[in-house]
Amino acid sequence: MRNMLGEASSPYLQQHKDNPVHWQLWSPETLALAARLDRPILLSIGYAACHWCHVMAHESFEDPETAALMNRHFINIKLDREERPDLDQIFMSALHAMGEQGGWPLTMALTPQGEPFWGGTYFPPVPRFGRPSFRQILAALANAWDTDRDRITGSAATLRRALAAQAAPRPGEPPGPALLDDIRAAYLRAMDWQHGGIGRAPKFPNIPIFRFLWQEYCRTNEPSAAQAVELLLERMSQGGIYDHLGGGYARYATDEAWLVPHFEKMLYDNALILDLLALARARRPTPLYAARARETVAWLRRDMRAEGAFAAAEDADSEGEEGKFYVWTRDEIVECLGADVDFFTQHYPAPAGGNWEGKIILERRAPFAEEERLAPLRARLFVRRNARIRPARDDKILADWNALTIAALARASAVFAEPAWLTLAEDVFASILTAMSEPGGSVAHACRHGKISAPGLLEDQAAMIRAALALYQATAKPEYLAQAQNLLAVTEQKFADGGGAFFMSADAAQSFAPRARNAQDGPTPSGIALMAENYALLHALTAAPELREKAEALLAAFSGGADRLTGSPLLLAAADLLENTACVVVTPGAAELAHAALAAPDPAVAVLRIPADASLPPGHPAHGKTATGPAAFICRGGVCSLPVTTPQEVRAGLHRNGDISP
């Protein structure tokens, strides 16, 4: 055997192609080889921007003695979690069923049939951190396989039952206002009201939770829900987790005050944060939100474009050192800024001893002001930084992450009055459809250099439907509505489970595990939540009763376990969308009214522009409504307002507690 990763398209797998480990690709052929040799599988899952994945690679996978031990006793498989999130979810769920905390790199021991029987995450090369060495783990697993096969078989069977239980839906009544109130209160109790965010260090953005809290503010006028979102955005946008020179947010902070990031930048984080910045800016015109949105989009356009779409991530490491590209010394800043250094460091502290491991991570401590003087100084530092060796970029194209970015750009274009962002969103959407369409009309999950490397998942279809609906509302182009409806039909055909819900994959990802259904949001929305949102928005736009029925069935499929719904904030948000979305029906010639609705702070708004030569179907509440000139009707709960003719009236009518007269 030999290392086969040179044949992979994934940049993460390519990073390991020169390891002395005989890495294999995940495939039926590899599983057949393991079965023929009766050898256990050692599965290592990570991703290209993962710092601790790089650490374990340098310490263990590049070590000849460790590699020899792996090659002697195991069939070794390397997997990119971003390329195969369906497999990653199965094995991460297995790890959680063992009572272990998840994370990457994920290290799993499997039977030759691919069944997990043991797992962990990072292991050091020598015993430390209270953890055994990786070599000790390898020796113990090899010995157990040779001498205690019955115990391994029992462990695999136990995990198989646990995975089946996790995959089963728990039907119940669709979530109502009381449940939304309870979960909102639980999230607010977990808030760090000093620094923003949920809990203590390490701090993740957890944007799905804060997106739910923002919608809860719009639903209930509970001020603390909006305050939680605004505190998070302010502290992250001023902290070290934000790249103050190049734009974009890092994946998470290792401290509770958002100073020290793991420096990798993920496309999905920045898409979801951009969307939340737009919603918050629509309520309160804070210059900070506008600056961070524009800087983040500038980073997307400058550093993340790839094959007509956006690359997946930028690495944390360069020259083998985490954060080296991003951090500074006091002397470097003084040399670059000269006489301006005292003014600059009044806003961006630069202590001589540094603020992290003797180096300086830029953070904004002063209020957001003096931008005319500060911007040229940041530009000088940016030019100096660009002379350094850049971190690697994972340039594979992921359909779901790009679709999240498309929808965010469409909303932000309206809120920040940036029409070029909408054009960019349309271009990326067209590129994804051109490069990643599968036979039968679905969208593939991953591609690189024009080669599709992973089949489409529910998240890809659902996020692309959502992107198409965002573009339809922003442009009024009927082809986007048609594309959303066509892709919805394909998704129902390939992924529906027959009980109102959806499987994550079109086929079983692994023979021993049932097809997964996942309503839990992670750093990104679950495909189930996105599908519930799509049904709710399409129902608001079309008033088709079958769409409401499908939305209710999907919500009900996961509502029997209220304890689980705390992990599904965007499914709960979709329940609110279904009941309370306002459809703003705009007559021809009323572009200003459409723009006012598109730039609303409430996510529960759908915008429908009626062409001059068309009418709404009889079932729509605005059917037959007329106005003497350009106007809009605000329809919610099956009734519509009288015609409104100014943007101010549109904005006032979209407040949840405003009067909507029949």
pLDDT at residue 115 greater than cutoff 50 = yes
pLDDT tens across 10-21, in order? Answer: 999 999 999 999
CATH of domain 5-166: 3.40.30.10
| Contact between 288 and 273 (Cβ < 8 Å) | no
pLDDT tens across 185-237, in order? Answer: 999 999 999 999 999 999 999 999 999 999 999 999 999 999 999 999 999 99
d(Cα 174, Cα 535) in Å, to the nearest integer? 14
pTM of the model: 0.94
Closest CA to 506 of 86, 171, 166: 86
Length reported for the chain: 662
pLDDT recorded at residue 100: 87
pLDDT at residue 658 greater than cutoff 60 = no
- Rounded to the nearest 10°, the torsion over CA 34, 35, 37, 43 is 20
pLDDT at residue 660 greater than cutoff 70 = no
What string of H, E and C letters represents the secondary structure of 542-557?
HCCHHHHHHHHHHHHC
d(Cα 236, Cα 595) in Å, to the nearest integer? 29
Determine the residue type at 379: A
pLDDT recorded at residue 661: 37
pLDDT tens across 374-423, in order? Answer: 999 999 999 999 999 999 999 999 999 999 999 999 999 999 999 999 99
> Mean pLDDT of all residues in the chain?
94
pLDDT recorded at residue 35: 95
d(Cα 40, Cα 348) in Å, to the nearest integer? 53
pLDDT at residue 162 greater than cutoff 90 = no
pLDDT at residue 493 greater than cutoff 80 = yes
pLDDT tens across 585-619, in order? Answer: 999 999 999 999 999 999 999 999 998 877 888 88
Q: What is the radius of gyration, based on Cα positions, of the chain? A: 26
| Contact between 299 and 247 (Cβ < 8 Å) | yes
Quickly state the pLDDT bin for 128 (edges 50, 70, 90): confident
pLDDT recorded at residue 496: 95
Architecture of domain 179-316+394-579: Alpha/alpha barrel (1.50)
| Contact between 296 and 270 (Cβ < 8 Å) | yes
- In eight-state DSSP terms, residue 98 is T
d(Cα 241, Cα 235) in Å, to the nearest integer? 9
Average pLDDT over residues 538-561: 94
Average pLDDT over residues 236-259: 97
pLDDT tens across 280-339, in order? Answer: 999 999 999 999 999 999 999 999 999 999 999 999 999 989 999 999 999 999 999 999
d(Cα 292, Cα 244) in Å, to the nearest integer? 9
| Contact between 404 and 57 (Cβ < 8 Å) | no
| Contact between 119 and 100 (Cβ < 8 Å) | yes
Average pLDDT over residues 76-103: 93
Average pLDDT over residues 426-437: 98
3-class DSSP assignment, residue 41 = strand
Could you tell me the sign of the dihedral formed by the alpha carbons of 641, 642, 643, 646, in that order? negative
d(Cα 473, Cα 481) in Å, to the nearest integer? 9
Residues 6+ apart with CB under 8 A from 555: 174, 175, 532, 571, 574, 575, 578
3-class DSSP assignment, residue 398 = strand
Angle CA 508–513–519, to nearest 5: 80
pLDDT at residue 659 greater than cutoff 60 = no
Pairing of strands 393-394, 397-398: unpaired
pLDDT at residue 2 greater than cutoff 80 = yes
Measured from the Cβ of residue 140, the count of other Cβ atoms closer than 10 Å reads: 13
